[in-house]
Structure 1
Amino acid sequence: MDFALEEMALEQDPKLRETLLDLYWTSEVYPEVGQILKELNLLNINLAILSNGTLEMLLSACSSTEINKYFDFIVSVDEVGIFKPDKRVYELVDSKMGYKTNEVLFVSSNAWDIVGATKYGFSTVWVNRGKKPVERLPWKAKYEFSNLTQLIDIFQ
């Protein structure tokens, strides 16, 4: 949260920080999200969330937006006590979900998360809604989309 406030050039105000964290509990999703998740389920694609958020926050956010029904796994970094992009977080995909690295398509809107997941060995999709520049690092997303609608094309 502190990084997000700094990135948006907002003052490090404890009250603002608390208000923004409270909003996370009832986040809204982008318009196409529900339909895309439904289509992926119809294609028998297993879906998971792997997040730096607490499990309680994730379950609340998913429930309030009614997208929880689409996910097979919701996993928090709380299980390893370290944050992404540490490789131990990405290892949870193997240990908790039973998938091998080459069986995963990792989707994120965070460039730093894409770098970590790509470096770990996942095939990645960067959802770059803001048309941000690509990180100047050797690990880049296999795909870059402006929203999730293009994700379906990968599986058809």
Structure 2
Amino acid sequence: MTTPPSPPNPKAIIFDLLTGLLDSWTLWDASTPTGTSLEGRKWRKQYLEVTFGSTVYGPGSTYEELVARSAGESGLPNSAPEALLQNWKDLTAWPEVGRVLRALREKGYLLGVVTNCSKKLGHAAVRNAEKAAEGAGEGTWKFDAAVTAEETGWYKPAVQAYHGILPLLGEGVRPEDVLFVAGSAGDVVGATKAGFRVVWNNHVGLERKGDVLPLREGKSLDEALRDFL
């Protein structure tokens, strides 16, 4: 197995959104006919396979289309993806997200998001993570940058999907300056291939893929980012 070398302190910490920061799994479960993880987890895992296997974002492979496709491939009716998109505003952050984001900002890291999502849904979900940070302190709170698959034209794990955020972080931020917080096994492999250092917030206990290991794996952001908090 290969493990990336331990980095100096990064300039930027970039997050996967829908598992790294948000509990989208509960919303997927609730959107199924039974409202349970029995159907929801099967659908969500198929969704990860479909999105991480699509590469290019465009007609026939938009985010909403892939959500619907993965539902059908999981044996679910059209009502499931329709319910998911209708209730998208209900996405919530993991309990520690607000506190951790504020702690990282105080340490001077640039903070951003790279997500396999449409522009509209992705930035709406980003705002939910920002609200969690606002709830953990005073005043407004914003990421330094956030980019979706629709905006870059690429789905993770394509290198272009990860590198699409670099110009938004300012001059001088290179791949080796980034620590990426993965939400899925595909992100661990993809972000490492993109030249990022990687930790994994494996909040839902997903299985590893391949022989690439993160610097650290934890079941919360506190665990995954222990060396940087």
TM interval, shorter chain, is 0.7 to 0.9
Task: Output the amino acid matched with 1:93.
Answer: I
Alpha-carbon deviation of 1:44?
A: 1.3
- Determine whether 1:28 maps to 2:92: yes
Over the aligned positions, Cα root-mean-square deviation in angstroms equals 2.6
Name the larger-Rg structure: 2
Counterpart CA distance in 1 for 2:155 and 2:201 is: 20
Counterpart CA distance in 2 for 1:7 and 1:132 is: 9
Report what 2:220 is aligned to: 147
Instruction: Kindly indicate whether the alpha-carbon contact (under 8 Å) linking 1:80 and 1:88 is maintained by their aligned counterparts in 2.
Output: yes
Alpha-carbon deviation of 1:131?
A: 2.8
The answer to which of 5-14 and 143-152 deviates more is: 5-14
SS at match of 1:106: strand
Report what 2:123 is aligned to: 59
Instruction: Kindly indicate whether the alpha-carbon contact (under 8 Å) linking 1:119 and 1:139 is maintained by their aligned counterparts in 2.
Output: no
| Correspondence for 1:14 among 75, 78, 95 | 78
Q: What is the percent sequence identity of the aligned residues?
A: 27
Task: Output the amino acid matched with 1:149.
Answer: D
Task: Output the amino acid matched with 1:119.
Answer: K
Structure with more contact order per residue of length (Cα contacts < 8 Å, sep ≥ 6): 2
Instruction: Kindly indicate whether the alpha-carbon contact (under 8 Å) linking 2:217 and 2:224 is maintained by their aligned counterparts in 1.
Output: no
C-alpha deviations, 1:68-89, integer Å up to 9, x for none? 7241111112222221111111
- Aligned CA distance change for structure 1 residues 47 and 27 (closer, same or farther; 3 Å): same
Q: Which runs of 5+ in 2 are unaligned?
A: 1-27, 29-40, 47-70, 134-140
- Aligned CA distance change for structure 1 residues 80 and 70 (closer, same or farther; 3 Å): closer
| Correspondence for 1:132 among 206, 210, 221 | 206
SS at match of 1:105: strand
Give the aligned length.
Answer: 155
Alpha-carbon deviation of 1:153?
A: 2.8
Q: Which runs of 5+ in 1 are unaligned?
A: none
TM-score, length basis structure 2: 0.60
SS at match of 1:155: coil
Counterpart CA distance in 2 for 1:15 and 1:155 is: 42
TM-score, length basis structure 1: 0.84
4+ aligned runs moved over 6 Å, structure 1: none
Counterpart CA distance in 1 for 2:90 and 2:44 is: 23
